[in-house]
């Protein structure tokens, strides 16, 4: 009887250990900016449960997402993830310029989903994102191509004026240094106020006027805008 109980105890312990291994993973993440001259603001990577998200395509942006998409402020998103027992990784603390790869490590703990966000500059409320990617239980290297999204919270006027606070029109800056000035506004209408695929910058070639402070020969893009390589250890 004691031998049988011992075998059962070992079996239960083994099951718990396996479950622990399945629900915990150490990830190496690499993000490559694939654009010509668009910069990503500080990049947030989050490991979280199924009930938590940074954004959902086709839904209204949260205030936390708006802060990130309009001004690059990820603090409210990180607070929400932490409150749900998630894990945050600041993959970068400075803007990631075109062609640059950023790397980092994150221990997911018991969290089984991975998300990513970073504002795209120069845009009004555009961001690169990954929404709730299921982390594989098998060790290996996985590649995910990432699109540009529009938070739907601000009209894409393409005026670079140092703005960035939620509800304050305009684009904070152009880290690539190719911004124009004196724009009158590329758009005065937002057709979709939910999170959606970004229509892209319109721009113009007038450096001291025109409708846009964005350069149409430099700041345009096609999806995907980034490549994320995740290595599950």
Residues 47-104 pLDDT 10s: 999 999 999 999 999 999 999 999 999 999 999 999 999 999 999 999 999 999 999 9
**pLDDT at residue 9, as a whole number:** 44
Rounded distance, CA 206 to CA 214, Å? 9
**pLDDT at residue 18, as a whole number:** 42
How many other CB atoms are there within 10 angstroms of residue 71's CB atom?
18
Residue 105: inside a domain: yes
Residue 159: inside a domain: yes
Residue 11: inside a domain: no
Are the C-beta atoms of residues 162 and 182 closer than 8 Å to each other?
no
Residue 8: inside a domain: no
Residue 129: inside a domain: yes
CATH of the domain at 220: 2.60.40.2130
Structural domain including 121 reads 24-232
**pLDDT at residue 23, as a whole number:** 57
Distances in whole angstroms, Cα of residue 91 to Cα of each of 77, 86, 105, 184, 216: 14, 15, 8, 35, 29
Residue 38: inside a domain: yes
What's the domain count of the chain? Answer: 1
């Amino acid at each position: 009887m004691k031998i049988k109980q011992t075998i059962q105890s070992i079996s239960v312990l083994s099951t718990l250990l396996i479950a622990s291994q399945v629900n915990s993973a150490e990830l190496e993440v690499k993000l490559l900016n694939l654009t010509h001259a668009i910069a990503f603001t500080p990049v947030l990577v989050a490991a979280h449960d199924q009930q938590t998200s940074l954004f959902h395509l086709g839904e209204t942006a949260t205030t936390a997402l708006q802060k990130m998409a309009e001004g690059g402020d990820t603090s409210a998103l990180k607070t929400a993830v932490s409150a749900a027992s998630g894990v945050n990784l600041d993959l970068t603390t400075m803007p990631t310029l075109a062609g640059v790869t950023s790397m980092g490590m994150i221990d997911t703990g018991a969290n089984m989903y991975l998300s990513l966000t970073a504002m795209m500059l120069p845009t009004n409320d555009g961001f690169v994102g990954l929404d709730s990617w299921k982390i594989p239980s098998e060790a290996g290297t996985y590649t995910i191509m990432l699109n540009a999204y529009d938070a739907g919270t601000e009209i894409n006027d393409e005026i670079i004026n140092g703005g960035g606070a939620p509800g304050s029109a305009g684009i904070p800056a152009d880290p690539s240094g190719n911004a124009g000035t004196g724009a009158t506004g590329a758009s005065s209408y937002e057709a979709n106020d939910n999170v959606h695929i970004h229509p892209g910058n319109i721009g113009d070639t007038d450096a001291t006027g025109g409708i846009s402070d964005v350069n149409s020969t430099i700041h345009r893009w096609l999806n995907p805008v980034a490549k994320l390589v995740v290595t599950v250890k």
